[in-house]
C-alpha cells in the first residue's frame, strides 16, 4: 500500500544504534547508485524524479547512460521483488566541485528517467531551508552499503543496509582535529562553511568507502530532514578524524533551482564589445551592442517566444541592413534572484535560436577571471540606448540594458552589468552593477555544461559561436 506523501516520515519505525543492520523500510529515501552495474555510491530520494548525491561520485564520469538507481532496497545482494530501478536522465554537478579531497560543492542532482511512486519502502526525505540550523551534539544518522572496515584490499561490503548514529561537531572543532597532524592532500583548515562534521573523537563509527553520496539525516519534531551528504574523511571512523558532509542547508537554494526546472548552475554573460571610446552623454561608434526587443514584460516573463535580439545595431530608429536578428531559444534566471530591486543574482542567460558569426560590428567581450580586480577610480565605460535623463521620474527599462566595460592592456573586459540605482545619474546616487568577476565560475560552468567543452581560456573572447547572451534578470521579472 502507498504511504503518505509527507516527506521524512517512514511507515516502519525502529532504530539500531551504531553500525548495525537497518530495519527494512526504516530509511525509505535511501538510494543505491550503480555504475556499469557495480555499486559505487549512495543517494537520497528528495522528489518523485530527483535524487541527491555527492559530486565526487560522478566527477569525470557524467554520462547518465552509465548509471542505474535502485529504490526500496534493504539487501543489495538479495533484492526483493518490490524494489524499483530507474535509469538516470541527467546529472548536475555543482560548479564549485573541482575534484580534490575536501573540495567545496561536493553535491550532485540526478534526474530520473521516469518518476517513482511512493510506497512504504520508497519515500522522500525532507529538505531543510537555507536558514535551518542543526545544532552541535544533535544525534543524526548515516546509512549506506559502504565498507564496514577500512582496508587497502578485500574490503568488506555489507549485504544489508547499515545505519549508525553520530553526533554533530562544529566545523571549527573539526578543523582543530584535522590540523593536529598534517595530511597529504589536505589544506590547513580543510573544513569550509559549506560542510558539516559528525562523529566521535575516539572513532569507531562512521561512513566508509561506498557510503559516499548517502544521507546524514536528523529527526526534527517527528520528521526526518537531510542535514548532509557523505563527502570525505581520513580513513574510516578513525580517531580524531570525524567524517565530513556537504551541508544541505548551505545548498538549499541550489537544490530548489534544480527541482523547479531551472539550471542551478546558470550563469550570466553580456555580449558587448567596444572598439572605440565613448564620450559621456554622446553617441558612439560601438562595434556591438545588443538590443532586446520585448513585446511585453510582466512578473516572471520567461517565455522565450516573447523576445528577439538585435545585434550589430547603431541607430535603433534606422537599423542598417547588416544587423542580425535572433530569436531566443531558452531563458535561464539565476536562482539567487528574487525580484527585489537590490537582489543578488541579477543576471540571466539567453540561448540564441541559432549561432552567429563575428563581423566588424559583432564581436564578443572578454571575461575576467574570478580573481580579477577593477580598482577604485579606474575609468570604465557604459553604453546603451536608454534614456539620457529622468526629470525626476523612474528611468525606463532600457536604461538598465548596459554593460560596464574596462580596458585592460589593450583589451576590453566586462567588469559589471547595470543592475539598480536611484533614478539615473542623480547626485550622490551612483549606479550599482552586478559583478562579472564574482560570477566567472558560474559563467564558465554553464558554458562548459552547455557546449560539452572544457577548452578555452577565460582571458580569451568568449562565445565563439555567439550562442549565449547575458542580460539582466530584472528585465525578465519586472
pLDDT at site 68: 96
Same domain, 298 and 254: no
**Furthest C-alpha separation in the chain:** 78
Q: How many domains does the chain have?
A: 2
Q: Which residues pair with 243 in a beta bridge?
A: 198
Residue 219 domain-assigned? yes
The answer as to whether 185 is a domain residue is yes
pLDDT value for 31: 96
Average pLDDT, the chain: 75
Tell whether 200 and 111 lie within a shared domain: yes
- Quick check: is 13 in a domain? no
Q: What is the pLDDT of residues 306-358, one digit of tens each?
A: 677 888 776 666 666 777 888 887 777 776 776 666 678 887 777 788 888 88
Q: What pLDDT, in 10s, does the model give residues 156-169?
A: 556 789 888 999 99
469 within a domain of the structure (yes/no): no
CA 349 and chain centroid, separation: 14
The predicted model gives 54-74 an average pLDDT of 93
- Same domain for 75 and 123: yes
pLDDT at site 311: 81
281 is a domain residue? no
Per-residue pLDDT reduced to its tens digit, 444-463: 877 766 554 333 333 333 33
Confidence of residue 201 (pLDDT cuts 50, 70, 90): low
Query: Are both 247 and 353 inside the same structural domain?
Result: no
- Beta-carbon neighbour count of residue 469 at 10 Å? 24
Distance of CA 325 to the CA centre of its chain: 31
- Is residue 121 included in any domain, yes or no? yes
pLDDT at 475 over 70: no
Answer yes or no: is 285 within a domain: no
Show Cβ contacts of residue 429 under 8 Å, excluding neighbours closer than 6 positions: 421, 422, 423
Q: Is residue 145 within 8 Å of 158, Cβ to Cβ?
A: yes
Residues 168 and 25 in one domain: yes
| Chain length of the chain | 478
Same domain flag for 244 and 344: no
Same domain? 71 vs 154? yes
Is residue 249 a contact partner of residue 130, using CB atoms and an 8 Å limit?
Answer: yes
In angstroms, the CA 474 to CA 347 distance is: 8
Tell which wins on pLDDT, 134 or 426. Answer: 134
Q: How far apart are CA 110 and CA 185, in angstroms?
A: 28
Is residue 229 domain-shared with residue 327, that is, in the same domain? Answer: no
131-159 tens-digit pLDDT: 999 988 788 999 998 765 544 444 555 67
Task: Give 331-369 as a 3 state SS string.
Answer: EEECCCCCCCCCCCCCCEEEEECCCCCCECCECCCECCC
The more confidently predicted of residues 457 and 90 is 90
DSSP states along 34-100: EETTEEEEEEEEEETTEEEE-GGGTTT---GGGEEEEES-SBTTS--TT-EEEEEEEEEE-TT--SS
- Nearest residue to 69 (alpha-carbon basis) of 59, 57, 60: 57
Higher-scoring residue by pLDDT: 75, 235: 75
Active site residues: 56, 106, 212
Residues 303 and 233 placed together within one structural domain of the fold: no
Q: Are residues 195 and 310 in the same domain?
A: no
> What are the CA-CA distances from residue 418 to residues 121, 227, 329, 400, 458 (Å)?
51, 37, 24, 6, 22
> Per-residue pLDDT averaged across 54-83, rounded?
91
In 340-461, DSSP assigns E strands to 348-352, 381-382, 403-408, 411-420, 432-435
Query: The domain spanning residue 219 has which CATH number?
Result: 2.40.10.10
Rounded to an integer, the average pLDDT of 357-369 is 82
Residue where a domain stops, chosen among 244, 260, 276: 260
Residue 317 lies in a domain: yes
- The overall pTM is greater than 0.85: no
Domain hosting 359: range is 291-450
Question: Quick one: 24 and 74 in the same domain?
Answer: yes
Smallest Cα–Cα separation from 476: which of 318, 280, 303, 267? 303
Distances (CA, A) of 318 to 216, 279, 313, 314, 321: 62, 22, 9, 8, 9
207, 311: one domain: no
Cell 520567461: give the residue. Answer: 302
Of 51-55, 199-203, 389-393, the poorest mean pLDDT is in 389-393
Per the model's pLDDT, the better-predicted residue between 466 and 180 turns out to be 180
Q: What is the pLDDT of residue 339?
A: 65
Among candidate residues 198, 63, 79, the one with its CA nearest the CA of residue 142: 198
Q: Between 284 and 276, whose confidence is greater?
A: 284
Query: What are 135's strand-pairing partners?
Result: none
Percent of the chain topping pLDDT 90: 26
Amino acid at each position: 500500500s502507498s504511504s503518505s506523501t509527507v516527506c521524512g516520515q517512514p511507515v516502519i519505525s525502529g532504530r539500531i544504534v551504531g553500525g548495525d543492520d537497518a530495519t527494512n523500510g526504516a530509511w525509505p529515501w535511501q538510494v543505491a547508485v550503480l555504475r556499469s552495474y557495480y555499486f559505487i555510491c549512495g543517494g537520497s530520494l528528495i522528489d518523485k524524479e530527483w535524487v541527491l548525491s555527492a559530486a565526487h561520485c560522478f566527477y569525470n564520469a557524467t554520462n547518465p547512460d552509465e548509471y542505474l538507481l535502485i529504490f526500496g532496497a534493504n539487501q543489495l545482494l538479495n533484492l526483493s521483488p518490490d524494489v524499483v530501478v530507474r535509469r538516470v536522465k541527467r546529472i548536475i554537478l555543482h560548479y564549485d566541485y573541482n575534484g580534490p579531497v575536501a573540495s567545496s560543492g561536493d553535491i550532485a542532482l540526478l534526474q530520473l528517467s521516469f518518476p517513482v511512486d511512493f510506497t512504504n519502502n520508497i519515500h522522500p526525505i525532507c529538505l531543510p531551508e537555507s536558514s535551518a540550523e542543526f545544532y552541535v551534539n544533535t544525534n543524526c544518522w548515516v546509512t549506506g552499503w559502504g565498507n564496514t572496515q577500512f582496508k587497502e584490499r578485500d574490503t568488506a561490503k555489507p549485504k544489508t543496509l547499515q545505519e549508525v548514529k553520530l553526533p554533530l561537531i562544529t566545523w571549527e572543532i573539526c578543523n582543530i582535529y584535522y590540523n593536529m597532524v598534517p595530511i597529504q592532500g589536505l589544506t590547513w583548515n580543510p573544513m569550509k562553511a559549506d560542510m558539516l562534521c559528525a562523529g566521535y573523537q575516539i572513532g569507531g563509527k562512521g561512513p566508509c568507502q561506498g557510503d559516499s553520496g548517502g544521507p546524514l539525516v536528523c529527526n526534527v519534531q517527528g520528521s526526518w530532514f537531510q542535514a548532509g551528504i557523505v563527502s570525505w574523511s581520513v580513513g574510516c571512523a578513525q580517531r580524531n578524524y570525524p567524517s565530513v558532509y556537504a551541508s544541505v542547508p548551505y545548498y538549499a537554494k541550489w537544490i530548489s533551482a534544480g527541482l523547479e526546472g531551472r539550471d542551478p548552475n546558470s550563469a550570466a554573460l553580456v555580449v558587448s564589445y567596444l572598439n572605440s571610446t565613448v564620450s559621456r552623454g554622446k553617441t558612439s561608434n560601438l562595434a556591438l551592442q545588443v538590443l532586446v526587443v520585448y513585446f511585453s514584460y510582466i512578473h516572471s516573463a520567461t517565455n522565450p517566444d516573447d523576445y528577439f535580439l538585435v545585434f550589430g545595431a547603431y541607430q535603433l530608429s534606422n537599423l542598417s541592413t547588416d544587423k542580425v536578428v535572433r530569436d531566443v531559444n531558452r531563458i535561464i534566471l539565476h536562482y539567487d534572484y528574487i525580484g527585489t530591486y537590490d537582489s543578488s543574482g541579477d543576471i540571466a542567460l539567453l540561448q540564441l535560436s541559432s549561432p552567429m558569426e563575428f563581423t566588424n560590428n559583432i564581436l564578443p567581450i572578454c571575461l575576467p577571471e574570478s580573481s580579477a580586480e577593477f580598482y577604485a577610480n579606474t575609468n570604465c565605460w557604459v553604453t546603451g540606448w536608454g534614456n539620457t535623463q529622468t526629470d525626476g521620474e523612474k528611468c525606463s527599462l532600457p536604461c538598465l540594458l548596459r554593460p560596464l566595460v574596462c580596458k585592460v592592456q589593450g583589451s576590453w573586459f566586462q567588469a559589471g552589468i547595470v543592475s539598480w540605482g536611484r533614478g539615473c545619474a542623480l547626485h550622490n546616487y551612483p549606479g550599482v552593477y552586478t559583478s562579472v568577476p564574482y560570477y566567472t565560475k558560474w559563467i564558465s560552468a554553464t558554458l562548459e555544461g552547455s557546449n560539452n567543452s572544457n577548452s578555452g581560456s577565460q582571458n580569451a573572447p568568449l562565445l565563439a559561436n555567439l550562442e549565449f547572451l547575458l542580460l539582466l534578470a530584472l528585465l525578465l521579472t519586472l
